[in-house]
Structure 1
């Protein structure tokens, strides 16, 4: 069979192909035996009426037209019932099976302008928005979520494959909505709760957590001074749940090396300990270039995305034969009225 015929045939299919078995039904009806003699009736027509009747040739032509209309009507109805569909090519999307939540510190210190973008000095939050949104958009094929925390923690975007929406949510983040302190433990705890609710339930019930590929990327520029949970305890829970934790310590000055006793400096040691307890990795960021390098490093660490099998896209074509059947029915009505 020529290749073009095979390609043409593969571009179409039917939702209910068995309906096509109805196509020969009218022809099968014509094969039924005629009525037996003696049961048919006859009507005497006066010759005055017969003289004004349509010639036999005209009646035969009209009968053929009616037969064609009825045949096309039946064929169109059966084809519409079978549900013809056009099979469209689909692009394979990347898929990894990972779920990633970005836990972002929105404390007041994120307003400090000690980072640079495009040659201009910007706040820490603005730098995180630029780099973080780009990182999220690159993670097509992952389920991405966003948790923001300060005095309290809240889910800004539930885990979803719609990475563009999560990136826009990050770009719209505003300081002050949930306070200006730093509740690192609560932020991580909420991320774990939304990331693995079934795993937490199993852990509380004494059962082993199911194996899942789940990640939390936690970014903070301060020390834990709010909330109800200790960061290291929540990091231990992440380890028990099998969730990898990447911590990013943001800011030019460490708490351990703070000669001027400045306020709201980053607690690098706690963030590093959290990552080690959970089996993840800690990163130190002092400039925008460092932040971009960290985003690229995490992207590589959580690589392994492959092309998922493409799902065939189909477009229904049944309205076209249905419309043809409707036109044939209208033609039959007009023909019968004229007769």
Structure 2
């Protein structure tokens, strides 16, 4: 078999190939139907003009052959359309790691502080996090990722999804003041854990089927919410969720010297240790970029998933041909 023919054949397939068995059905019907008995008493009154044309014979014979061809094409096109021809297209394989990742981001008032550099300009902490975080999310194609924002209250800004572009856009649209201006670290991580531990049909948490990771970013101290950070970290450990914490800001409680609204790096470090994760300290934009790359490497192991073939239906084309043949049959019938 020529190589070009094999390549052409592999580019097409049929949704219902058994439908092609219907192709010889008209021939079988014509052969098996009983013939008309001789000596029938049927009578038909035919106009004289038609009788004259019948004697000539050529016009009616030509139309009969045309109708026969149209009927053959009509039946063939209908059967081919019923078989469902499809064009097989190759799909690009996406990286897949099988991880569920929830990002819990502090959206308190202190994120407005302009003490980070970005593209040679001084920007707020939130602007730096948006730029680096959105880039990190888009790189995680193949993961199921979501976003929680927290301050006084906690809110799911993007439900876990494989659509990383939508989650990244949700991060870029985050606005300070949407959920208050205080810092509820425990509640923020708690809501992220809830989305990482879906409930079964009877209310019991399902066992972890994939690697589950929470990334908690904060630049303050827990001063809002109903839960304590340590209790939520222990819950993460029990659920098998690894928590990476990012303490953001140039100063923390250890060296603040009475300064308010500084990050509690020690608490964040304890949360990561309890859950089996890792704590990071970020003071500059370069640190933030380095942390994003480090987490990306720690949660790597992505491989190309097997490409799934994409199929485009072609049945409307033979169906349209069958419709045209039916119109042609109707036209020749009227002409007769």
- Looking at structure 1, the residues matched to 176 and 151 of structure 2 have their Cα atoms a distance apart, in angstroms, of 9
Task: Pick closer, same or farther for the CA change 1:31–1:40 going to 2, 3 Å.
Answer: farther
SS at match of 2:199: helix
Q: Does residue 313 of structure 2 align to residue 312 of structure 1?
A: no
In the other structure, the counterpart of 1:253 is: 251
1:229 pairs with 219, 222, 227, which one?
227
| Higher deviation after alignment, 193-202 or 317-326 | 193-202
- Other-structure match for 2:325: 328
Partner of 2:18: 18
- Is the contact between residue 183 and residue 223 of structure 2 (CA under 8 Å) also seen in structure 1? yes
Paired with 2:181 and 2:324, the residues of 1 have a C-alpha distance of: 70
Which runs of no fewer than 5 residues in structure 1 stay unpaired?
none
What pairs with 1:1-339 in structure 2 (closer than 5 Å)?
1-32=1-32, 33-39=34-40, 41=42, 50-51=51-52, 53=54, 55-198=56-199, 202=204, 209-259=207-257, 261-339=258-336
- For 1:1-22, what per-residue CA distance to the aligned partner results, in whole angstroms no more than 9, with x for missing partners? 1111111111111122111111
Whether the 8 Å CA contact 2:186–2:228 is kept in 1: the answer is yes
Deviation, structure 1 residue 135? 0.4
- Classify 1:222/1:331 alpha carbon distance in 2 versus 1 (closer, same or farther; 3 Å): same
Give distance in 2, aligned partners of 1:2 and 1:11: 15
**CA contact 1:133–1:167 (8 Å) conserved in 2:** yes
Q: Which moved more, 1:128-137 or 1:56-65?
A: 56-65
2:70 aligned counterpart, secondary structure: helix
**Distance apart, 1:83 and its partner CA:** 1.3
Q: CA offsets per residue over residues 47-80 of structure 1, 9 Å max, x none?
A: 9974454512332222111110111111111111
Q: Is the 8 A contact 2:53 2:59 kept in 1?
A: no
The answer to whether the Cα contact below 8 Å between 1:149 and 1:187 also exists between their aligned partners in 2 is yes
* TM-score, normalised via structure 2 length: 0.94
